[in-house]
Structure 1
């Protein structure tokens, strides 16, 4: 399977990166392996826009939906190998599914073993944790390979990792020489009535379309929050194991 960008990891960093790349016209595939660590949160209370917090699973589901709406494709699997090629990268999962991609964004906390054999990629050991050595934009020592979120040694906070996913995506877009200004949806005339062409990445919409988009967004939010989330948070594996041991004695 061929794609422009493979995003490894379906947490907030990977999902945000995928949303930005897909909206910029980059053919994007997200490879996910199980649920995000965010699903362990009992209640997510420190992200903008939710003054009383939000159920972490509901938040994740909406993030996935947003990336899909932007055009990103999703596939399940654990990435086992990433290998540089003359044209980009070969990506292979543990079950043998393979991709070719121009670029890769690694956002797979806490596994980076699939990058171990790539020259130019540095690793930082911090106690029991291993991070990818990347600059503030997410660029690594290998052209076309980016790291985002916690794997890039960003703080273990949802909004920071999401923001870094966007930063890494913008670095990828810039490096790909894609015409791009900002990802903005503006009212009709915002640029054109100042004698400017609408910049790449931006769009002007008339008032009736703005109202329609708002109505559809409001309806989707009502649906998302109409009923309580049926699944609770995922407990840390070590606590689960300890509880099981206690139950055996």
Structure 2
């Protein structure tokens, strides 16, 4: 069984970059390198040789380190086919259902547009690891810069089908603010209240809230619960479609 070793690297103000190593082969991927220097330094300290970059989408805080890391390591860059022209240094463009190999480990590609028109996610089933960029956050989802509410809701439903045990390696530390927003919609949700307390405790101690697990996202993330009648009631949208409820949650978050 090809298990992954995953190192989380905080960069910029709130980004996470991931170093992912498949132990049997020694293959190492960088997921969404916003910058290069701290990534190369971390790999050196670990004694890992970077062989791949995995990009979920084209935004500069996800691809900004691509070219310098490739120059330093000769690594192979894999990114979304719909955005091939916007991924610096891309070598391999992938689509929904494609399989990406990292040594003996395999990642399934999900096409999850909404935040951008070409966003993808990488799912490593053997390690239960989901690298979802800015589509799904702990207690949140990405802004709709290039896509529609319908697209993003479809994308989130696709990810929601993964096991509760899936670890959600999103790309930003937004969780504390996301919890405050979620409580503004459902202040009496006891599960959400408890999760918010845990998040506040982690952040007080300077600890990351990421990764979360998909099971807790399904239970408490309002963006994954747009088809939950309790959320519709909280939004005063009883009887409306899940897509309408999702759009309203996203609208409220945009001005929160």
Q: TM-score range by the shorter chain?
A: under 0.3
TM-score (normalizing by structure 2): 0.27
